[in-house]
Structure 1
Amino acid sequence: MKMLHLATILLTLSGVLTQSTDWGVKYPDKPICAVRGFSVSIPCSYYYPQQNYQVIEKLWCSMNSNKDQCYGPPYVYNSSSNTNSDFEYAGDDKSNCTLLIHNLQFNNSGTYRFRFITNVTEGKWTGLPGVILQVADLKVSLIRLSGNGTLKQGDSLNLTCDVKCTHSSSQFVWSKNNEQLNTSGPVLHFPALTVRDSGNYTCTWETNEASGSETISLQVEGENPENPDHWPIWIIVVLTAGLIFIIVAIPAVIYNRRFLCERRSVHTEQQKEDDSDIYANVQQKEDDSDIYTNVQQKEDNSDIYANV
């Protein structure tokens, strides 16, 4: 009896119960590939005799930091602690043990294992061997097939989208200026560039567990009718010169008009003074003429009187 009890304890510590066919954790068969800076979903399912046990604690560990084969801490996720982190449990207390990891970094690569604990003392289980996660960069490369230097009309090139890690079936979706293109595959081919090909191209890489995207900009030499924000240099120069001319010319015109108005005002006042002087002279002459006429009249009257 003691030997049987000791054997049960050893099997319990190793994460394997005597009724092993009723306990287990299932992971994906192949490593999971994910993109740095994005999120990944690690599918996971588990099972146990639900009629006799109830799950009270759910744990995820990384073999990068856990040297105890996940039978003890540290854990990247622990349902009994309410800490906020990039590790999120998306499963339940019955059969789903899916783990979400956000804001992936290279040091998140490694093997992950799920462990659950029930309300019965010996009812504990750790899923072996675990699932492998690989974190890599998504890169969009420009490969020139003809031409050199700046992109010109008639040049040919390829845009290649790639993730440097082992992954299962994946798909590539290309878009230009946030509008999806009717093409698929990791390579976008341009046999002969035109100015209409200028724009921002985004490659979105997707699998069942992860996704990521990367954008590259193409600017073909010449005016781009689809993107009027990129104007040729000569238009910018002309607009700049026109703006400088307006800034300089308008104050000059205003000053000149003000100067002319002031001169006209002075001239008008002077003219009025001159007219007043002329009028005074004319009036003086008229007065002198009247005096002369009166004197002449008196002389004439005197002559008449003398004759009489």
Structure 2
Amino acid sequence: MILPHGANNNDSVLVLLLLAAWADARVSYSPVTCAVRGSTVTLPCSFTPIMPVVRVRWCVSHPICQGSTPSVYDSRTIRNNWRYLYLGDMERNCTLQIHNVQTQDNTTFRFRMEARDNAGHFTGTTGVAVTVVDGDPMSVQSSAPGSVSEGAAVTLNCASRCSFHQVGVRWHQDGHALPESGPTLRLTAGQSANYTCGLVDRASTTSPPFRLNVQPPRADGNFVVPLVVSLGLLMALLLVIAVVVVVVKRKRRPASRHEGKRGEKENQRSEQVPGGERGGPDGQEIGQDADEINYATVQFQSRATNSRRPAETSEDVVYSSVARPST
């Protein structure tokens, strides 16, 4: 760099500092943007200032955007066009949103920041170019390309090469209008059909038909898995029931044997005890446990003719059993 003749060292240092500051100041834009007429488009933007910023502007059709250049947005005025909304700030963010895009928006937009000192002024001369289209056909994109099974969930998207945010979309199935109005159509595959989409009140934007082929469920497909699971659960249940039955039977066998032996013993005892048959006025059976057996002695005196028998002769004693019914 060649400095003017007669310039002192202080001036040289100041010029170098200004050039360095300008090199550090920069503005970054999004790529070229395409938008459908009537839609809303956002222009992402960021900037790096070299000193505190006091004013920001967005202008069109001017490389520097300074002085009296018309601006679509100016932070110093409150009379900005409502279609241009500044989403940024005075520090880093310079994003601009354009509502209801029109044909005149088919141009290049540039951002400019200004400081209290002229050394802090900077314009991103590159800018961002906006292309406005109207009438381009849309296209239908499916989340499940090819054939789908009956009952499957399918998502269809109405797409375009340009942004069409906040523009109504109309869907048709085999030529019949559907109630959905957004860019996304969610449905459950029922039968094969043709689907189209397009922007509201713009017949020229109707997409080519998209054929959704629906196949009935196959025996070797998704239907087999639930069937195998059901059969497995059924077999497991039958096995559990069989195990329970076997265990119960094994527990009952020792008990029945014990009861049989006990019954035999009781029968033997009843046979040994006199009066074990039915008795009494009501025909009740007198058992070993319910009846009480008392033993009594009966002494028979000898006849008078034999009364003179010696005293040491023992008397005849007869034992008999008397069964007394329990009360």
- Shorter-chain TM range is 0.3 to 0.5
Specify which structure has the higher proportion of helix: 1
TM-score scaled to structure 1, two decimals?
Answer: 0.44
Larger radius of gyration: 2
Higher relative contact order (CA 8 A, sep 6+): 1
Q: TM-score, normalised by structure 2?
A: 0.41
